[in-house]
Chain A
Amino acid sequence: MKPAVTVRKKIVRVGLASCGIAAGARPVYDFFRSELAKTPEKNFTLIRTGCIGMCFCEPLVEVEDEKGVYLYGEVNPEKARRILDEHLGAGRPCPDWVVYSDVITGREQDYLTRQHRILLKNSGKIDPEDIHSYLEASGYRGLKKVLASLTPEEVIATVEESGLRGRGGAGFPTYLKWRFTRQSPDTSKYVVCNADEGDPGAFMDRSILESDPHSVLEGMVIAGYAVGSNEGYIYIRAEYPLAVQRLRLAIAQMEEQNYLGENILGSGFSFHIHIREGAGAFVCGEETALLASIEGKRGMPRPRPPYPAQEGLWGKPTVINNVETLANVARIFGLGPEVYKNCGTEKSKGTKVFALAGKVRRSGLIEVPMGISIREIVFAIGGGIAGDKPFKAVQTGGPSGGCIPASLAETPVDYESLAKIGAIMGSGGLLVMDDETCMVDVARFFLNFTTEESCGKCTFCRNGTPLMLAALDRICQGQGRPGDPDRLEELGEAIKDGSLCGLGQTAPNPVLTTIRYFRDEYDAHIDGKRCPARVCKDLITYRIITEKCTGCGLCARICPVQAISGERRRPYHLDETVCIRCGLCLSSCRFGAIITVSEGQGVPAAGTVNTENIAGATNTADVIGAAGAAGNAGASGTANTTGAAGATGGNTRTTTTSGERE
């Protein structure tokens, strides 16, 4: 007895991008696979997908039945067993674990419903390792249309009409880059895809390449056709092995199906794509440095002009586009430029993918229309701050970007508005910060990064960034001097003016914006020797709250320097002179009995004897002298301090400064 309409098989999708795998998706996938192999009737289809974007509740499993989709979060093999038995077997979904569904309301429903997914429409839906899966999702429709019915000039005009701007951060109109390259008289030209996603805190490109590699490759072939190039390179970070592997596979499948290679789809147009793995240099995200790196040289930028559109790879005209830009190209031609144009603001069209991370409750990969406010991203999509702490700031653009304070949370996310407040759109990292984030420490973190990554070519960047870093180090150690912020600003502006490439020109941004919006925190560090967020190790002390301490002794056992002592079942005591502020006791205490305080200058730490000897010491020379003198004089507490810090592994920063605060 056959039903009139064939019953659609249920589909099970398991998110197997890097972060899903790291969260434990592999055993879940293996479970479904082995169960599927066991059942002779094969009552469901199993698909390995990329990133669905809800990284905060990985591993994710989506079940699609005749009613709709149910996305399950935090699935482990035990939960998978129940999903298999109840949902796939008996047809009863497990509502408690559903995070999103188009049938019922999932626990984290808003996260997806508030987004506008054009670029990520395939992410988490299709199998990134199977070209047919992409084809079924209307993949290569844009390329077919381009090759069959559009001239290169018409392709460029369509991109112009769509309003697409480069998604790597600077926002240069894509069609212009293409037109300049097309107009170059040289006959051999190159298309380069910049997948050197070096910004710490950004993972959009990784996710797109792992989840939907064909869309990027499709965009590349279209770009090649438009500018008149037959050869393309993808420059990708070696730190993304899974993305590299999926790209290689995708390229091989494209060649097999003639979406790549000679005479593509009988159009007479030929295009080849090579992969070049980066070797770990942030500066290679800069286009001229990237080209130098593909050519096998040290990745150092050169002055422009000539622009790559005139003289790029091996001296030939070259168009360089970011991963997200190229994926957008595939959508513009696949779905039509109006889908794109109708979304966003007047000057910033379309959507933008952000890697939402930091102290936000729901972190992951999101796609939002341009013009959405920061507040909406953080609260409506991100679900607010983790642990309901106060929202302090967001940071966009990584080491090149700026910190935006909560007071400017209504700022619309578009190229111009963000630039106006000193931040940049950047490639898409969006870090959320709460009141336990120290802005001086954040500025120091980014500057430490750019200092290490400076290629050394320009004096201002090479020598200026370490000077700024040294000043920030001092401030974080409680040795800041009045006037430091002004000097930092002056030096920062000079570095911006005196550097050749984007790295140096933007490196001071995190410092400049934090000084601009969080000057009071700098002042607290410099004048008050206080870290309001209680982050800077040299400015905080740990305390045990007697009333809350149950005397379990866990902290004493875990303390690596035996700074905590006491009798069981009685409140313990923390010897501040021995404490190295590693934070282990704080994270291990189950009763919230250990706190950090930052009381600043002149206030003796609790439970210490010798602290007042040197409590008045303020500037560097005084401090070192005082600590040394106290130690020489045999003041036991201080001697202990320096001894303990020295013994714990030679963190010179701690050793030399451990005395000054007490």
Chain B
Amino acid sequence: MAATAEKVAYLQPGGPLRERIDQLIHRLGRGQGTAIPVLQEIQKEFGYIPPELLPRVAALTGLCGSELYSIATFYSQFRLHPIGENLIQVCHGTACHLAGAEEITAALRRELGIEEGDTSPDRKYTIEKVACLGCCSLAPVITINGETFGRLTPEKAVRLVRDRGAQNDENAQNRESERTKKGAQNKEDPQNKEGRLS
């Protein structure tokens, strides 16, 4: 529950997302035209669209909740569930299919124990199937956290996922220790946050 309240607070006046969304609505006008850009902005923030935010977004954009939900579920870009720390996208474009994308998927499924579209129980990995990343000459291709890797074999893909996962853990740890160092400082400096948003 606490988590829900925290996310909803993002959209309250003065909340970290509110200003960006107000700007979008100001630019595009209230109503249907803003729905997709606003949902994209929310997904950029959380990595997914927390369903509990939809009623609030509906009120802000002047759409009814069901309309907004129908849009959020129509487009494959929008996720209504949180993703893992590492997002792996396996390209299933034609060139990648011919070059063995299915084998890559199968190897990742065995490695991580999850199906395409799912997140591992420890929330570390999400595997997503994507239609085409447009890097057909490097097929088969996957992306890990936005970085593209090509000319893969199943073994290489598994190795990459392991390496990047470990690297990400390390980075997260570093960030954590950095944050604890800087924690006090940031709390005293609300200006800093506003500067980032504008």
Contact = CB atoms under 8 A, between A and B. Distances in A.
Contacts, number: 159
Interface in B112-132: 113, 115, 130-132
B18 interface: no
B76 interface: yes
A281 B74 contact: yes
A566 interface: no
Interface stretch (B6-14, B29-37, B167-175, B182-190): B29-37
A431 B78 contact: no
Interface stretch (A16-24, A372-380, A500-508): A16-24
Interface-central residue, A199, A296, A398, A437, by most chain B CB under 10 Å: A296
B141 interface: yes
B150 A22 contact: yes
A203 B106 contact: no
Contact of A449 (B37, B109, B131, B138): B131
A102 B105 CA distance: 43
B77 A238 contact: yes
Contacts of B75: 278-281, 299
A240 B74 contact: no
Contacts of B191: none
Contact of B132 (A19, A202, A241, A587): A202
B66 to A, nearest CB: 12
Given A280-B75, A296-B33, A297-B32, A582 B138 contact: no
B94 A437 contact: no
Interface in B68-111: 70-71, 74-78, 92-95, 97-98, 100, 103, 106-107, 109-110
Interface stretch (A356-364, A458-466, A484-492): A356-364
Given A203-B135, A363-B136, A358 B149 contact: no
B194 interface: no
Contacts of B115: 649-650
B82 to A, nearest CB: 18
A648 B95 contact: no
B154 A296 contact: no
B180 interface: no
B173 to A, nearest CB: 26
Interface in A41-86: 55-56, 58
Contacts of A449: 131
Contacts of B15: none
Contacts of B37: 276-277
B94 A200 contact: yes
A201 B95 contact: yes
Interface-central residue, A21, A22, A206, A241, by most chain B CB under 10 Å: A22
Contact of A364 (B107, B110, B137): B137
A22 B40 contact: no
Contacts of B131: 198, 200, 239, 280, 282, 449, 453
Contact of B133 (A207, A239, A298): A239
Interface residues of B, number: 48
Interface in A274-295: 276-282, 293-295
B139 interface: yes
A404 B29 CA distance: 48
A279 B110 CA distance: 30
B51 interface: no
A582 B106 contact: yes
Contacts of A197: 134
Interface in A199-221: 199-203, 206-207
B176 interface: no
A355 interface: yes
A7 B141 CA distance: 44
B148 A295 contact: no
A408 interface: no
Interface string A422-459: 00000001010100010000100110010001010000
Given A200-B92, A429-B94, A295 B33 contact: yes
A657 interface: no
Contacts of A429: 94
Contacts of A514: none
Contacts of A398: 94
B110 A560 contact: yes
Contacts of B138: 19, 22-23, 55, 58
A315 interface: no
Contacts of B137: 19, 55-56, 58, 357, 363-364
B40 A277 contact: yes
B136 A355 contact: yes
A470 interface: no
A445 B101 CA distance: 11
B130 A239 contact: yes
A277 B41 CA distance: 11
Interface-central residue, A200, A203, A298, A651, by most chain B CB under 10 Å: A200
Interface string B56-76: 000000000000001100111
Nearest to B35: A296
A342 interface: no
Nearest to B100: A583
Contacts of A297: 32, 35, 71
B136 A22 contact: no
A395 B113 CA distance: 35
Given A364-B137, A582-B107, 6 more contacts: A55-B137, A56-B137, A200-B131, A279-B75, A357-B95, A583-B100
17 contacts: A201-B132, A201-B136, A206-B134, A279-B39, A281-B75, A294-B33, A357-B95, A358-B98, A359-B98, A442-B94, A442-B98, A446-B94, A582-B110, A584-B154, A587-B155, A650-B115, A651-B109
Interface of B: 31-37, 39-40, 70-71, 74-78, 92-95, 97-98, 100, 103, 106-107, 109-110, 113, 115, 130-139, 141, 146, 148-150, 153-155
Interface of A: 18-19, 21-23, 55-56, 58, 197-203, 206-207, 238-241, 276-282, 293-299, 355, 357-359, 363-364, 395, 398, 429, 431, 433, 437, 442, 445-446, 449, 453, 455, 558, 560, 582-584, 587-588, 648-651
Q: What 8 A-B pairs have minimum CB-CB distances, sorted nearest first?
A: A55-B137, A201-B94, A279-B75, A203-B134, A280-B77, A200-B93, A357-B136, A22-B148
